[in-house]
Amino acid sequence: MSQSVITMLKDGQHYMKTWPVKKELYAYFPECRVVAATRFAIKTMPPAAILSCALLLQNMGTDYFPQTITIGAFFLSIPLQGLLWLGHRSNQYLPPQLNSWYLDIHSKMRSEGCNVSSVKSKPKYKELAALLKTAFNDLDNVFTKHWFR
C-alpha cells in the first residue's frame, strides 16, 4: 500500500494535530518528541534557511549559489521529514501489545460514557491518537461531572 508524498504529508499534519502531547506519554511513544520537534522546525527552519542563504551569498558571493540553494533546501526539508515520519507512522497497524491496550482503553471509556467511535479490529496509530486525545479531553470532564453534580 504505497502512498504519495503529498498524502503522507497531509496525514502527518493531521496526526500531529490529533496526537496528545502529554507528559504521561513521553516515556512510551516517540510521537511526543517528534511532534514537538516538528512544530519547532516549522517555526524556525524557514527563517534559518533565509538567513543562512543571505549570509552565504553576502560572504561568498554568487560563485557559491548552488551550495547556497542546497543549504537552504536542507533547512526547509527538516520540517517535511518530521511530517513524513508522522504520516507514515499514523498509517501503521498497532503491534499486539498496543492493540490490547487500545481495546482496554476503549472499553473503559465506553463504560464511563465517553462518546468514542466504534472499536476497530485492526487499529492503526491514528485511531490510537484519536482515542487518547478523547481520553485526555473527556475523561477529566466525566470524572468532574461525576463528583460535582
Q: Are 87 and 98 in the same domain?
A: no
Q: Is 3 helix (H, G, I), strand (E, B) or coil?
A: coil
Task: Determine contact, residues 53/68, Cβ cutoff 8 Å.
Answer: yes
Q: Bridge partners of 4?
A: none
Q: Tell me the CB-side half-sphere exposure of residue 135, using CA atoms within 13 A.
A: 22
Q: Are 128 and 141 in the same domain?
A: yes
Q: Are 16 and 83 in the same domain?
A: yes
Residue where a domain terminates, one of 91, 110, 127: 91
Count of domains for the chain: 2
Q: Helix 125-147 crosses helix 65-90 at what angle (to 10 degrees)?
A: 60
Q: Are 69 and 101 in the same domain?
A: no
What is d(CA 60, CA 94) in angstroms, rounded to the nearest whole number?
50
Q: What is the pTM of this model?
A: 0.86
Q: Are 27 and 71 in the same domain?
A: yes
Q: Are 3 and 21 in the same domain?
A: yes
Domain with 128, as residue range(s), is 93-149
What is d(CA 86, CA 81) in angstroms, rounded to the nearest whole number?
9
Task: Determine contact, residues 15/126, Cβ cutoff 8 Å.
Answer: yes
> Would you write out the chain's pLDDT as a tens digit for each of its 149 residues?
578 999 999 999 999 999 999 888 888 999 999 999 999 999 999 999 999 999 999 999 999 999 999 999 999 999 999 999 999 999 999 999 999 999 988 888 888 777 787 888 899 999 999 998 988 887 766 554 554 44
pLDDT digits (tens, 9 = 90+) for 48-82: 999 999 999 999 999 999 999 999 999 999 999 99
Q: Are 58 and 101 in the same domain?
A: no
Task: Determine contact, residues 4/118, Cβ cutoff 8 Å.
Answer: no
Q: Are 130 and 81 in the same domain?
A: no
Q: Are 76 and 125 in the same domain?
A: no
Q: Are 57 and 116 in the same domain?
A: no
Q: Are 48 and 115 in the same domain?
A: no
All three cell numbers of 43, joined, read 517555526
Q: Are 11 and 72 in the same domain?
A: yes
What is d(CA 76, CA 22) in angstroms, rounded to the nearest whole number?
27
